[in-house]
Amino acid sequence: MKSLLSVAELDVADLDEIMRLTDQFVEVSERQIPRVPALRGRTVVSLFYEESTRTRLSFETAAKRLSADTMNFAVSTSSVKKGESLRDTVQTIEAMGVDVIIVRHPSAGVPWQVANWVDAAVVNAGDGAHEHPTQALLDCYTIRQQRGSLEGLRVAIVGDIAHSRVARSDVLAFTTLGAEVTLVAPPTLLPPSLAGWPVMVNNDLDDVLPKADIVYLLRMQLERQHEALLPSLREYTARYGLTRDRARLLADDALVMHPGPMNRGVEIAAEVANRPNSVITRQVANGVAVRMAVLFLLAGANPRDHIVGDPNG
Amino acid sequence: MGEVLIRGGQVVDATGSRVADVLVRDGEVAAVGDGLSVRRGGRTLDAGGCVVAPGLVDLHAHLRQPGREEAETVESGSRAAALGGYTAVVAMPNTEPAVDCAAVVREVLDLGASALCDVHVAGAITKNRDGCELAPMAEMAELGVRLFTDDGAGVQDTRLMRRALEYAGGLGVTLGQHCEDASLANGGAMHEGEWSSRLGLPGIPAEAEELMVLRDITLIRLTAALGARVHFLHLSTAGSIAIVRAAKEAGLPVSAEAAPHHFTLTDAEVASYDPVFKVNPPLRPASDVDAVRSGLADGTIDAIATDHAPHAPEFKEASFQDAAFGMLGLETALSLALTGLELPIAQVLALLSWKPARIAGLDGHGGPIAEGRPAHLCVIDPSATWTVDPEALASRSRNTPYAGRILTGRVRHTVLAGEPVVIDGEAHR
Chain A, 133 to 172: residues with Cβ < 8 Å from chain B are: 165, 168
**CB atoms < 10 A from the CB of B205, how many?**
19
For B234-382, where are the alpha helices, taking DSSP H only?
238-249, 260-264, 286-298, 333-340, 345-349, 355-360
Q: Between chains, do B194 and A193 touch, taking CB under 8 Å as contact?
A: yes
Interface membership of B197 toward A (CB under 8 Å): yes
Task: Name the CATH superfamily housing domain B55-360.
Answer: Metal-dependent hydrolases (3.20.20.140)
Contacts (Cβ under 8 Å, ≥6 apart) of A207: none
Nearest-neighbour CA in chain A from B73: distance (Å)? 23
Residue B134: pLDDT band with limits 50, 70, 90? very high
Nearest to B319 among A105, A129, A191 (CB): A105
* pLDDT one-digit tens code per residue, B154-194: 999 999 999 999 999 999 999 999 999 999 999 999 999 99
Least confident segment among A134-138, A219-223, B131-135, B304-308: A219-223
**Contacts of residue B319 in chain A, CB cutoff 8 Å?**
86, 105, 107-110, 113
Q: Between chains, do A86 and B317 touch, taking CB under 8 Å as contact?
A: yes
Average pLDDT, chain B: 97
Task: Compare A41 and A1 and report the one with higher pLDDT.
Answer: A41
Nearest Cα neighbor of A217 from A176, A250, A192 is A250
Question: How much is the pLDDT for A239?
Answer: 96
Question: How much is the pLDDT for A280?
Answer: 94
Which residue of chain B comes nearest to A132, CA vs CA?
B200
Q: Is A126 helix (H, G, I), strand (E, B) or coil?
A: strand
**Contacts of residue A113 in chain B, CB cutoff 8 Å?**
273-274, 319-320
Q: E strands of B93-218, at which residues?
A: 118-121, 147-149, 174-177, 190-191, 203-204
Nearest-neighbour CA in chain A from B203: distance (Å)? 9
Task: State chain A's maximal CA–CA distance in angstroms.
Answer: 59
Q: Between chains, do A191 and B197 touch, taking CB under 8 Å as contact?
A: yes
Nearest to A192 among B193, B272, B322 (CB): B193
Nearest-neighbour CA in chain A from B80: distance (Å)? 27
Question: How much is the pLDDT for A253?
Answer: 94
Interstrand relation of B406-416 and B377-387 (parallel, antiparallel or unpaired): antiparallel
CA dihedral B385, B389, B395, B400 (to 10 degrees): 100
Interface membership of B287 toward A (CB under 8 Å): no
Interface membership of A110 toward B (CB under 8 Å): yes
Question: How much is the pLDDT for A83?
Answer: 62
Q: Quote the pTM value.
A: 0.95
Single-letter residue type at B240: S
A189, A193, A229: which to substitute to probe chain B, counting the most B Cβ within 10 Å?
A193
Nearest Cα neighbor of A249 from A201, A274, A215 is A215
Question: How much is the pLDDT for B263?
Answer: 98
Nearest to B319 among A107, A168, A194 (CB): A107
Question: Of all residues in chain B, what percent carry a pLDDT higher than 90?
Answer: 98
What domains, with CATH codes, occur in chain A? 7-131+284-299 (3.40.50.1370), 133-280 (3.40.50.1370)
Q: Between chains, do A128 and B201 touch, taking CB under 8 Å as contact?
A: yes
**Contacts of residue B318 in chain A, CB cutoff 8 Å?**
85-86
Q: Between chains, do B200 and A87 touch, taking CB under 8 Å as contact?
A: no
Nearest to B320 among A109, A165, A192 (CB): A109
Nearest Cα neighbor of B174 from B231, B213, B217 is B231
Q: Between chains, do A113 and B273 touch, taking CB under 8 Å as contact?
A: yes
Which residue of chain A comes nearest to B204, CA vs CA?
A192
Q: Where are the domains of chain B?
A: 4-52+372-385+403-427, 55-360
d(CA B8, CA B50): 8
Nearest Cα neighbor of B104 from B130, B135, B60, B58 is B135
Nearest to B321 among A108, A112, A191 (CB): A108
Q: Between chains, do A86 and B272 touch, taking CB under 8 Å as contact?
A: no
Nearest-neighbour CA in chain B from A214: distance (Å)? 23
- Is B110 designated active site? no
The arithmetic mean of pLDDT across residues B251-265, rounded, is: 98
B284, B287, B317: which to substitute to probe chain A, counting the most A Cβ within 10 Å?
B317
Reply yes or no: is the peptide bond before residue B97 cis, omega within 30 of 0: yes
Residue A101: pLDDT band with limits 50, 70, 90? very high
Average pLDDT, chain A: 92
- For domain B4-52+372-385+403-427, the CATH class is mainly beta
Nearest to A128 among B194, B197, B321 (CB): B321
**CB atoms < 10 A from the CB of A153, how many?**
20
* pLDDT one-digit tens code per residue, A37-93: 999 999 999 999 988 889 999 999 999 999 999 999 877 654 555 567 888 889 989
The arithmetic mean of pLDDT across residues B130-149, rounded, is: 98
Question: How much is the pLDDT for A311?
Answer: 41
Chain B, 316 to 335: residues with Cβ < 8 Å from chain A are: 317-322
Q: Between chains, do A107 and B320 touch, taking CB under 8 Å as contact?
A: yes
Interface contacts A/B by beta carbons within 8 Å? 73
Which residue of chain B comes nearest to A86, CA vs CA?
B318
Residue A308: pLDDT band with limits 50, 70, 90? very low
Q: Between chains, do A108 and B200 touch, taking CB under 8 Å as contact?
A: yes
Q: Between chains, do A86 and B274 touch, taking CB under 8 Å as contact?
A: no
* pLDDT one-digit tens code per residue, B29-58: 999 999 999 998 999 999 999 999 999 999
**Contacts of residue B313 in chain A, CB cutoff 8 Å?**
85
Interface membership of A127 toward B (CB under 8 Å): yes
d(CA B229, CA B232): 10
Which helix (H) or strand (E) segment holds residue B230: the answer is strand B230-232
The arithmetic mean of pLDDT across residues A142-163, rounded, is: 97
* pLDDT one-digit tens code per residue, B94-108: 999 999 999 999 999
pLDDT at A312 over 60: no
Chain A, 79 to 108: residues with Cβ < 8 Å from chain B are: 83, 85-88, 105-108
Residue A302, CA distances (Å) to A37, A60, A65, A298, B397 in order:
11, 21, 17, 11, 45
pLDDT at B122 over 70: yes
Q: Between chains, do A192 and B317 touch, taking CB under 8 Å as contact?
A: no
**Contacts of residue B321 in chain A, CB cutoff 8 Å?**
106-108, 128
Task: Compare A82 and A19 and report the one with higher pLDDT.
Answer: A19
Residue A116, CA distances (Å) to A6, A169, B198, B299, B414 in order:
15, 21, 21, 42, 39
Q: Euclidean distance between the first and final Cα of chain A, in Å?
A: 27
**Rg of chain A in Å (alpha carbons):** 20
Burial of A205 (0-12, 13-18, 19+ CB in 10 A): buried
Among B267, B302, B307, B381, the one annotated catalytic: B307
Nearest-neighbour CA in chain B from A293: distance (Å)? 26
Question: How much is the pLDDT for A82?
Answer: 56
pLDDT at B74 over 60: yes
Q: Between chains, do A192 and B196 touch, taking CB under 8 Å as contact?
A: yes
**Rg of chain B in Å (alpha carbons):** 21
* pLDDT one-digit tens code per residue, A111-124: 999 999 999 999 99
